[in-house]
Amino acid sequence: MRRGALAGNVLVVGCRENAPCLAGVPRRLVIRAIREACGLSQQEAARVFGGGPKAFEKYESGEVAPSSAMTNLLVLAARRPELFCKEMAARLTPDDTAAVLREAVRRSSVERVYGQIYGV
């Protein structure tokens, strides 16, 4: 198994509700470590990852466990924190986001299906 895959699996286990500890480190501290590796405050992390304004406060206090989708984002952030830093998030304007989404559709079969439906 690749080292990155192992690290990802360990982080997934560490973020799950049923795993209060990861190698003796509480799950809430794993989430905090990932957030801090991205250079984000709790409020900034909530804006970048989603989940609401108090999400990371609740994750890090152990009050709430992240969803499986949030866990997947956290694992990705642990592997590539530079993708989730506040500077990167600030660069994504609505126009940039729309351009990225249009390009994803263009590269997929969805564009062909859309064209067939709407005659475009």
CATH number at residue 11: 1.10.260.40
SS3 68: helix
Q: What is the pLDDT of residue 40?
A: 94
**Co-location of 74 and 120 in the same domain:** no
Which residues form the domain of 102? Answer: 92-120
How many distinct structural domains can be found in the chain? 2
Q: What is the pLDDT of residue 59?
A: 92
**Co-location of 99 and 75 in the same domain:** no
Residues 52, 46: contact at Cβ < 8 Å? Answer: yes
**Co-location of 118 and 79 in the same domain:** no
- Per residue in 9-64, pLDDT (tens digit) is 555 555 554 555 555 556 888 999 999 999 999 999 998 898 888 999 999 998 88
Average pLDDT estimate for 54-82: 90
